[in-house]
Structure 1
Amino acid sequence: MGWKELATAFLVLHFAFMAYVLLGGFLAWKWPKAIWFHLPAIGWGIALIGFGLNCPLTYAENWARTNAGEGPLNRGFVDTYIEGVLYPERYVHVAQAVLALIVLISYVGFFVLRRRRRARAAAGVEMRGQRVG
């Protein structure tokens, strides 16, 4: 694999991670234990936004791009590939709020489903303990 392909792989990995941060809570609806993998991803996303940190995947992509003879990104991953492409730059805070709302909806759904599953499981245990007929 060449440097250019490695840079592309980091780019794809970055998009995949961002998609997971946004939509990973919905995976927990089907696979409840997935929430334990999603929580640190959300924490990392919040830390990146809240503290203005740079993601290691951006550094890795820049490293591979430089070794491929290309220039590094002038701005961060989101600034380069998402802002101004998926939404105008002036709507950054609106986009962040919408993304946070999507994650919140996924978590509310997760907890509602979890509660229903536990209630069904408890009802099933009670039913098994009773005699029928």
Structure 2
Amino acid sequence: MLWRWLADAVLVVHLGFVLFALLGALAVWRWPSVAWLHLPALVWGAYVVLAGDICPLTPLEVHLRVAGGEAGYDISFIERYLLPLIYPDVVQGDAGRGLQQTLGMVLLGFNAAIYALWIRRRR
């Protein structure tokens, strides 16, 4: 049971990181110093999504699940948890990879627009 709780905790942290990478630029409007945390998170998140790499939190979660007697998986966090929520009818694999890259571009574009507006507003 402990392993499952730890795996779930890693999952929650991972989801929190994804949300921070996606929406952290909005927090910069209120707390400008958050940019020092958000920009590296954004760069890392965009790299992982666009390169098709796997975040180290994914293998950690899988390891904890397997240690707890659950089944593991061999795809990325985004393919496992987010794509089925966003695009439930899409088959994973190559189609999922294309959607993942699209999400990466949306991530960068959305945050670039928010930062551009923020910089413009501050001038």
- TM-score relative to the length of structure 1: 0.76
Residue in 1 that maps onto 2:110? 102
**Paired letter, 1:30:** R
Query: How far does residue 110 in structure 1 lie from its aligned partner after superposition?
Result: 2.1
SS of residue paired to 2:83: coil
Cα deviation, residue 6, structure 1: 0.5
Task: Find out whether 1:43 has 2:51 as its counterpart.
Answer: no
Where does the alignment leave 5 or more consecutive residues of structure 2 unmatched?
A: none
**Structure index of larger Rg:** 1
C-alpha RMSD of the superposition:
1.9
Q: Distance in 2 between matches of 1:50 and 1:82?
A: 15
TM-score (norm: length of structure 2): 0.82
Percent identity of the aligned residues?
Answer: 34
User: What amino acid is the match of 1:13?
Assistant: V
Asked if 1:114 is matched to 2:113, the reply is no
Residues matched between the structures, number:
115
Q: Distance in 2 between matches of 1:30 and 1:109?
A: 13
Amino acid corresponding to residue 7 of structure 2 in structure 1: A
Mapped to 1, the partners of 2:117 and 2:85 lie a distance apart of 30
